[in-house]
């Protein structure tokens, strides 16, 4: 879990400019539209849509944007998006998983391959690195919801598998299949979560030095800047010293 939260902290401390926020809103809107199109446009009747809206709200996405994204799903000219997973290798032998929602598979594959190549990485076949990750549910809460003991107790009661807490918040891990069930149980004791989503969690992290960490951050930033890419996961881990330098 250490590599996962360290990477989270790096991204958090870097700060996100308005242009990045705008791009994030368009990606969240795409997830909402896809969820609404796949089921009913009513979040009370569509669990996927409810989660997409909840995650958008956690990023302070305006209500108007959320409503527009839902309405777009019922439009005749709505693009059809495919969910695709790419897997590859980054500097230092690290593994990377990229999740995308695209209306043009060729464009997205070409862009992702190019980003890997420019960073000294390589795109692999589907399944080439995902075997070293677990597909699990992740539920996050802000630190203000309570101390680590309170959250741990609630998580155990709800049937979660693991919890990590620090001064920034709480990350609760559960089986992918029981994500909805665990989230519902936690909501009863801790209130509404900040985010509820499926993630790829590395089974073992690969330590990298400062030079490789910088290259990896550039690679991940470039992937996240692509309009079609929704999520990026990696198994790299850096020391506290290198983390402090990268976060400066």
State the pLDDT at residue 24.
85
pTM of the predicted model, to two decimals?
0.84
Q: Hey, what domains does the chain have and what are their CATH numbers?
A: 17-73 (1.10.10.200), 82-131+203-247 (3.30.70.980), 134-202 (3.30.70.980)
DSSP 130: G
State the pLDDT at residue 19.
56
Q: Which residues pair with 99 in a beta bridge?
A: 85, 231
Block means of pLDDT (10 residues each) for the chain, 248 residues, are 43 48 85 89 88 87 92 76 93 93 94 94 93 94 93 95 91 93 94 90 90 89 92 89 75
Query: CA angle 76-82-83, nearest 5°?
Result: 135
Which H helix or E strand runs over 233? strand 229-234
State the pLDDT at residue 1.
34
Query: CA angle 238-6-143, nearest 5°?
Result: 160
């Amino acid at each position: 879990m250490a590599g996962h939260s360290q990477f989270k902290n790096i991204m958090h401390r870097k700060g996100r400019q308005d242009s990045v926020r705008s791009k994030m809103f368009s990606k969240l809107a795409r997830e909402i539209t896809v969820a609404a199109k796949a089921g009913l446009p009513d979040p009370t009747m569509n669990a996927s849509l409810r989660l997409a809206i909840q995650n958008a709200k956690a990023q302070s996405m305006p209500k108007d944007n959320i409503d527009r994204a839902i309405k777009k799903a019922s439009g005749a000219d709505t693009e059809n998006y495919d969910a695709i997973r790419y897997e590859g290798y980054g500097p230092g032998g690290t593994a990377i998983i990229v999740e995308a929602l695209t209306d043009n598979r060729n464009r997205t594959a070409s862009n992702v391959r190019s980003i890997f190549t420019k960073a000294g990485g390589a795109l692999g076949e589907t399944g080439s690195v995902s075997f070293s990750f677990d597909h699990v549910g992740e539920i996050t809460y802000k630190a203000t919801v309570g101390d680590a003991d309170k959250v741990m107790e609630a998580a155990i009661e709800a049937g979660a598998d693991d919890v990590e807490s620090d001064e920034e918040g709480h990350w609760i891990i559960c089986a992918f299949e029981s994500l909805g069930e665990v989230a519902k149980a936690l909501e009863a004791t801790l209130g509404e979560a900040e985010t509820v989503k499926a993630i790829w969690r590395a089974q073992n992290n690969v330590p990298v030095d400062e030079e490789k960490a910088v290259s990896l951050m550039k690679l991940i930033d470039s992937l996240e800047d692509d309009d079609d890419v929704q999520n990026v996961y990696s198994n790299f881990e850096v020391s506290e010293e290198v983390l402090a330098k990268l976060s400066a």
